Amino acid sequence: MRAESARHYLDELVNWASARLTGEEVLLAHFSGEDSDFVRFNHATVRQAGTVSQRSISIDLIDGRRHAEGSVSLTGVVDIDHHRVTQLMSDLREQRAVLPDDPYLLYSTASDSSERLVDGQAPLSADAIDAVVSGADGSDLVGIYAAGRSFRGFASSLGQRNWFAAGSFNLDWSLHHHDDKATKNAYAGLAWDPDALATKLAWSRRELDVLGRAPRNLPPGGYRSYLSPAALREIMDMLSWGGFSLRSHRTKQTPLLRMVTEGARLHPSVSISEDIAGGVAPDFQAAGFTRPDSVSLIDGGQFAGHLVSPRSAQEYGVETNGADDHEFPTAIAMAPGLLPTDDVLRELGTGLYIGNLWYLNFSDRSACRTTGMTRFGTFWVEDGEIVAPIEVLRFDDTAFHLLGDRLVGLTDTAETILDPSTYEQRSTESLRLPGALVEEMTFTL
Amino acid sequence: MTDSETRFEERLLAALPADADYASARHVVERGSRLEVRNGVVEPSSTAHDEGVMFSVWTGAGAGYAATSDLSDEGLARAVEQARGWAATTAGRTVIDSPPFLHTVGEYASPVTDSFDSLSLADQVALLVEADAVLGGHARIVDRSASLVRHDIGSLLLTNGGGRVAQEIRQVFPDLRATANEGSNTQNRTYGAGTLAGQGGAEVLARHGFRDAAERIAAEAVALLDAPNCPTGTMDLILAPDQMALQIHESIGHPLELDRILGDERNYAGTSFVTREMFGSYQYGSELLNVTFDPTVPGQMASYGFDDDGTPAERTYLIKDGVLQQPMGGTISQARSGMAGVANSRASSWNRAPIDRMANLNVEPGGSTIDELIAGVEHGVLMETNVSWSIDDSRNKFQFGAELGRVIENGEVKHIVRNPNYRGISATFWRNLSGVADDFTVMAVGNCGKGEPNQVIRVGHASPHCRFSNVEVFGGEQ
């Protein structure tokens, strides 16, 4: 099964399976696939290189309010895939007979078909390797090049069809001076431009000069800090871990609990939305519901709305807005502020320029208190000038400070970050974030 | 082996290029199921059948792989040609230019005493409904769930030199969770935070008392609402095994992975404060610290006969009497570094290439009873069940949190405390190991993430209760 035929294959497979339904059965199918090249680099040489081609289909087989779900890899051989789907449907019917009614079952019964194509053209991987190795120019480059096409599809026996296909590339790398002193950058998008990559790599190499200076070993304490968009992304990932999920709110597990129980607020300049229209993720989910272009989550520092999956909608009696079951944002965006991006060092004055944070977790989830480490491209700044890299520091602070009473401002431009994550499959998530200047960030180790 | 399996194996062998310096086909089929009851509602059951094959080809000082779920003759042939293409593209610019692999022949199967299939779906539903009801037996419980997950994984590694390794792994993950709330205070208790899992069948449920754990978990979640915050200060710390699992994982396991030490993970999972020169002499911990890489423990999550490069697995001391002995590095890392290693080249599935991973990484039991550990504490905290983990990219500065703490005063356990946390530095923390108990709980961590492209893998940890001195302990926001 070649890439261009995946959509047709899904359509035919679901039509074939739908013809084998019995009684009042309804079939929901969610398709996922990709043809990806992966090249892993260490010391600007290839550590591993290869291609992954994978297709799978998940089926939810429904009879009234009873249902069971299952997924199976697709081989591309019609007879084998028909056999696998037949076996899956038989297993699901057996399981369904044992299960009680599901009071929270909710699926799309509309003919809400759609198509979203994100057209991109990745280079030949051999050319990409050449560009990376030559662009590194002898420096110690480590990273991953991932490129190719991704597919997602929804199809139901009720006739709905939704299709998403994207072609893209994502080169995510760090250049290392010594030990953990490194700078990080990425080049991701839809149209490969060797000159743009060369420019970014040259910028990374220039940053190495600063990383060679003797690092500052700062004692724990409070420091005025600038969080780059990449660093702020780590904070946002933690807020996204239940922060906007209706289920997490109703079960009191949200890290933003104090916003709903005590009226806590973030800074008035903080507005956050799920911006599907501005992202590169599918605009539909596994139960067939489509997503609105935008969902306001935080508006002017106040909690504004939830991400609501179909199950949560049914459980809590509200409308779904097309969130996945885990109710995690897929295209989160924070509105930029007024701080001139070009002046962040001057606005910072003396303090920490934090290029990246790393390995965050909650030290008190109910209070949204979060700990984590500084990582790549983090520098001590004096009077608006970068002085030296630092030895890594651990912070332990709450978002109610960092994006609340201690937030000085957000930059006037926001950066798009295409998620380089490749767990099980290449991510289609993205973020659009400004940088944030914080009056004081608490460091503990 | 069925006729169709035999024919498929013959097709894989036929697809392997005989003229390559080395070539392998690694076929993996993983069947899984999940059942969960949440707040009295049976969630939809789910099953998964994930299957594919990865071809690896080494030729002419280059190497590459291609993985596909397309198992047609055309799909297999296309994958082999793609892998050949990568080998040609990377020739002369890879970190290693010749294949170091064995052509191993062998088999392994998880020991199973009571097949998971002996639990019908109806039995599983009844078991979980009952556990969920018990979890909900307190007014302030606002969310709870009981779940069972199984994975049956079959793998077959064939090489163009006659290698054949077939393995059948059976894994079971039972879990219980209770969330209690009052106002802005939310507390969770779980069944070991997912660590009380292992290889086997239905007998895995009995190993840690799954059927009887719900009442305790719910009661402790509610009790934590009324407990004081964990005290702040430098004090003795006793870690229960389900907190030790995480402590071992993050501050011994990852730093000793040889691919980190060689720099492969510097862009993602991180590097290591451990350097090659430290092995054989570095005092990693007190002399009470003994750590083994042991894929031979029956029933532990990451037991196997061979790693995914076909290297036979065996028990190996990584730290002996506190002194660092050797790293966890598979065949490729060993060849690159010239160092001894272990059979730990593992892939998350057919669609990812093997890299250095933990398997079962265990702290060996000591000579004290748990009561003796506690009796030796004048002022301290005992922490149970990991809830938070964070460590720097060199695996040195860490901060971990637990679900529940128990204050110890003058050698006696007193009241429980909520939001217990502690922080330290790996390089010094283990040297403050002042007591190792004689118990030994065999556990798992099911979500270890690493690698580019990313891979999640299941590993095993086993540990006794351990006591550490002079640890910075603290609680949450008031």
Cα dist from B22 to A242, B27, B156, B460, whole Å: 47, 17, 16, 31
CB contact under 8 A, A71 and B47: yes
Asked if residue A62 belongs to a domain, the reply is yes
Q: Is A74 on the interface with B (CB under 8 A)?
A: yes
Shared domain for A226 and A205, answered yes or no, is: no
Shared domain for A405 and A260, answered yes or no, is: yes
Q: Which residue, of A145, A178, A211, is where some domain finishes? A: A211
> Alpha-carbon distance A166 to A190, whole Å?
9
Asked if residue A384 belongs to a domain, the reply is yes
Residue A121: beta bridge partners? A191
Shared domain for A159 and A231, answered yes or no, is: no
Shared domain for A407 and A281, answered yes or no, is: yes
- Of the residues A88, A181, A363, the best mutation for testing chain B's interface (the one with the most B CB atoms within 10 Å of its CB) is A363
Q: Mean pLDDT, to the nearest integer, of B353-370?
A: 98
Asked if residue A47 belongs to a domain, the reply is yes
Shared domain for A143 and A255, answered yes or no, is: no
Residue B41: predicted pLDDT: 98
Instruction: Say if residue A422's pLDDT is above 70.
Output: yes
Asked if residue A216 belongs to a domain, the reply is no
Asked if residue A258 belongs to a domain, the reply is yes
Q: Which residue, of A187, A211, A235, is where some domain finishes? A: A211
A·B CB contacts under 8 A: 274
Q: Is the pTM of this model over 0.95?
A: yes
The three-class DSSP label of residue A360 is strand
Residues 144-163 of A with CB under 8 A from B: 144, 146
Print the domain residue range for A88. Answer: 3-211
Q: Which residue, of A157, A186, A211, is where some domain finishes? A: A211
Q: Do A435 and A411 touch, CB atoms closer than 8 A?
A: yes
Shared domain for A227 and A334, answered yes or no, is: yes
Residue A2: predicted pLDDT: 52
**pLDDT tens readout for residues A390-416:** 999 999 999 999 999 999 999 999 999
Q: Is B44 on the interface with A (CB under 8 A)?
A: yes
Shared domain for A225 and A207, answered yes or no, is: no
Residue A112: predicted pLDDT: 86
Residue B90 has its nearest CB partner, among A49, A55, A258, at A49
Asked if residue A125 belongs to a domain, the reply is yes
Quick one: what percent of chain B has pLDDT higher than 90?
98
Instruction: Say if residue A3's pLDDT is above 50.
Output: no
Quick one: what percent of chain A has pLDDT higher than 70?
99
Phi-psi group of B293: left, alpha or beta (phi > 0 → left; psi -120 to 50 → alpha; rest → beta): beta
**pLDDT tens readout for residues B115-159:** 999 999 999 999 999 999 999 999 999 999 999 999 999 999 999
Whether cis (ω within 30° of 0) applies to the bond prior to B453 is yes
Closest chain A residue to B29 measured between Cα atoms? A73
HEC secondary structure over chain B: CCHHHHHHHHHHHHHCCCCCCEEEEEEEEEEEEEEEEECCEECCCEEEEEEEEEEEEEECCEEEEEEECCCCHHHHHHHHHHHHHHHHHHCCCECCCCCCCCCCEEEEECCCCCCHHHCCHHHHHHHHHHHHHHHCCCCCEEEEEEEEEEEEEEEEEEECCCCEEEEEEEEEEEEEEEEEEECCEEEEEECHHHCCCEECCCHHHHHCCHHHCHHHHHHHHHHHHHCCECCCEEEEEEECHHHHHHHHHHHHHHHHEHHHHCCCCCCCCCCCCCCHHHCCCCECCCCCCCEEECCCCCCCCCCCCECCCCCECCCEEEEECCEECCCECCHHHHHHHCCCCCCCEECCCCCCCCEECCCEEEECCCCECHHHHHHCCCEEEEEEEEEEEEECCCCCEEEEEEEEEEEEECCEEEEEEECCEEEEEHHHHHHHEEEEECCCEEEEEEEEEECCCCEEEEEEEEECCEEEEEEEEECCCC
Cα dist from A70 to A82, A323, A328, B449, whole Å: 15, 20, 22, 24
Shared domain for A403 and A433, answered yes or no, is: yes
Q: Do A186 and A172 touch, CB atoms closer than 8 A?
A: yes
ipTM of the complex: 0.96
Shared domain for A262 and A165, answered yes or no, is: no
Shared domain for A268 and A132, answered yes or no, is: no
Closest chain B residue to A177 measured between Cα atoms? B266
* Domain count along chain A: 2
**pLDDT tens readout for residues B415-432:** 999 999 999 999 899 999
What CATH number corresponds to the domain at position A21? 3.30.2290.10
User: What structural domains and CATH numbers belong to chain B?
Assistant: 3-226 (3.30.2290.10), 233-474 (no CATH)
Shared domain for A200 and A225, answered yes or no, is: no
Asked if residue A344 belongs to a domain, the reply is yes
pLDDT level of residue B280 (50, 70, 90 thresholds): very high
Instruction: Say if residue B478's pLDDT is above 80.
Output: no
Shared domain for A111 and A202, answered yes or no, is: yes
Q: Do A370 and A363 touch, CB atoms closer than 8 A?
A: yes
> Alpha-carbon distance B391 to A232, whole Å?
18
Helices B121-135 + B214-226 axis angle, to 10 = 30
> Which has the higher per-residue pLDDT, A247 or B3?
A247
Closest chain A residue to B447 measured between Cα atoms? A423
Q: A284 to chain B, minimum CA–CA distance in Å? A: 20
Q: Is B48 on the interface with A (CB under 8 A)?
A: yes
Q: Mean pLDDT, to the nearest integer, of B34-62?
A: 97
Instruction: Say if residue A120's pLDDT is above 90.
Output: no
